[in-house]
Structure 1
């Protein structure tokens, strides 16, 4: 998507001729433009080849003479330039591509206005205008919108206007003239000077030439506006994909669908009850000590992948990774009636997944790893925090309690500790046993808990 400079009359090979100020900084937008550019180039080259082949057949049909070889040669040159454009084309600054675009238009202008060297007789050069050859520029303009930026489309129109008018000047000053034909036109229509003016093959007819290029330039401007709107649509689509991708990192697919339909779903500060789950690997520091970094990272990836999948499978939100552990929430950003029940089911499913993971590790001759869980249900505050770089945060005593319950698993030597508040909210305690009340730092009274052995 070669982009011309903001200057309206740039040299095609100037230092800033291809400067773009539309180049987005975000990699998603860059990738979208690059992908659109590649697809557009492929379509443009195919369309160019198809159009030129069709035009060549038409020329042979209209002029089945040997001199048509000149125009077939020009068509071959234009196909070759198109293939070169596909090779050098890229998003952003590309003076080579702009140079090839200028070469395109130059070949077209010279080929349409210069006398055919294979003609066996000389005819007035201005006679070429009677064949309305200028319309072929519209074909190239249509092909150009598949791959060029809106600024380059404007430049396309301006260069066409300039080259065609310069060509008309050259035809007027240096073209072949046959005075006899002018005399014949006067003899045929002595009482109609306007008709003589139109019929005289030696006359360039500046009014029509100006009309041609002005209309063409207007069409180029309109198409440039259309291309600009289309490129904005591509960028907006890329931004939507980026936003959905970011949401998918933290929320389940169902929650992503719901959040994507809401305006600023995470922007409002709110408070409600939610289930908070902390998970980590027991004794991971000792496990990692002395082991190859690759094995440590592979272990973490396998652990995180399984825990993350269970969070999403139970409609939870992955709040953050915490080294060898993670924090998940159920009921954020939008609460549901079964948040605690889904959190409880997630803990049981995670424990089962750990059994499966360790079975695989034993087969591979690797040491077993154990996960520890802490789950609490209570009021939390949700909202964006930070100044320039915002982060969606879940805050409150419930978060602190869940974290400290997970820490108590080492003292009680159990897989998980679930607060009585979470059990009562879930309405189920299957697979759990009641344990003595525990003193939790930051909580005034001992906390009733259940444990998962």
Structure 2
């Protein structure tokens, strides 16, 4: 969480004239993840409304780790290493870290920050985060702790970016529907046990690009996320392409949305037993005795984040 800064020091310690030495000292004192979210931009800079891609990343297993540990210092060290891994990949892929709290990081990309389309940059960062945690967990870098796994949501749309101030706190912030939706998609990714979920707008940007992640998109269905009225088309962004799973998922989701639940059930028999998408589609059909309602709109409504 952002630490309070005394109001009378804001114009000196954290202004646009802050020296490299000052920032290095602050980073050393606060820890890199704490210091990185403070903005060096002038508070006079205007907020800009523009297309952005927001990435929300959270760690599965964080709450149980904190609850069960008898060594808070070691647990904090692990979480800090995890936050820095997420922060690194956002920044390496030309994104901005807007905020972090507990085990969560919010990053965003806009036209100014990325040399490639912002949605593509965000997706590449997400894949890199998942791969980095896989390496950290398998090489023993996390010590004796149970491995942590990231769950990530990405949404693309119009948002406000720029210096944001609340009282004496200031950060390089982002605001708008993409941020809320990215958070909800992150929650859904945990429910489905899928590392990365993206919305339809992000998927369209990726598919219209010439970059190497187009073949890694898997249809998951249409969802009305908690607290939101409009349905969102959701895709899994896979770390490595799986053409068979992509094809099977497209057929199953299409049949489900169209109300052809007999065809959907037949398609789902080909899926792995622990597949999250297959599970939620089957749960929805089972709850309705495998008969689509007369007013069926193809949307799965979620009540909780």
- Report the TM range for the smaller structure's normalisation: 0.5 to 0.7
Q: State the alpha-carbon separation in 2 of the partners of residues 361 and 350 from structure 1.
A: 17
Partner of 1:354: 133
Secondary structure at the counterpart of residue 151 of structure 2: strand
Residues 1:433 and 2:207 are matched in the alignment: no
CA contact (8 A) 2:197 2:237 kept: yes
Secondary structure at the counterpart of residue 417 of structure 1: strand
TM-score (norm 1): 0.42
Higher helix share: 1
Larger Rg: 1
CA contact (8 A) 1:307 1:350 kept: yes
Deviation at 1:414?
A: 1.1
CA contact (8 A) 2:200 2:234 kept: yes
CA contact (8 A) 2:78 2:142 kept: no
Partner of 2:58: 280
Deviation at 1:416?
A: 1.7
Deviation at 1:363?
A: 8.3
Higher relative contact order (CA 8 A, sep 6+): 2
CA contact (8 A) 1:376 1:401 kept: yes
May I ask how many residue pairs the two structures share in their alignment? 215
Deviation at 1:451?
A: 1.3
Residues 315-334 of structure 1 mapped to structure 2, 5 A cutoff: 315-331=94-110, 334=113
Residues 1:385 and 2:170 are matched in the alignment: no
Q: State the alpha-carbon separation in 2 of the partners of residues 266 and 382 from structure 1.
A: 13
Partner of 2:183: 403
Deviation at 1:365?
A: 3.6
Partner of 1:306: 85
Deviation at 1:242?
A: 6.4
Partner of 1:228: none
CA contact (8 A) 1:266 1:392 kept: no
Gaps of 5+ in 1: 1-24, 31-235
Deviation at 1:436?
A: 1.1
Which of residues 353, 367, 370 in structure 1 aligns to 2:146? Answer: 367
Deviation at 1:267?
A: 1.6
Partner of 1:445: 230
Secondary structure at the counterpart of residue 226 of structure 2: coil
Deviation at 1:360?
A: 2.3
Higher strand share: 2
TM-score (norm 2): 0.61
Q: State the alpha-carbon separation in 2 of the partners of residues 347 and 390 from structure 1.
A: 26
Deviation at 1:327?
A: 0.5
Gaps of 5+ in 2: 1-7, 208-212, 239-305
Change beyond 3 A, Cα 1:296–1:424:
same
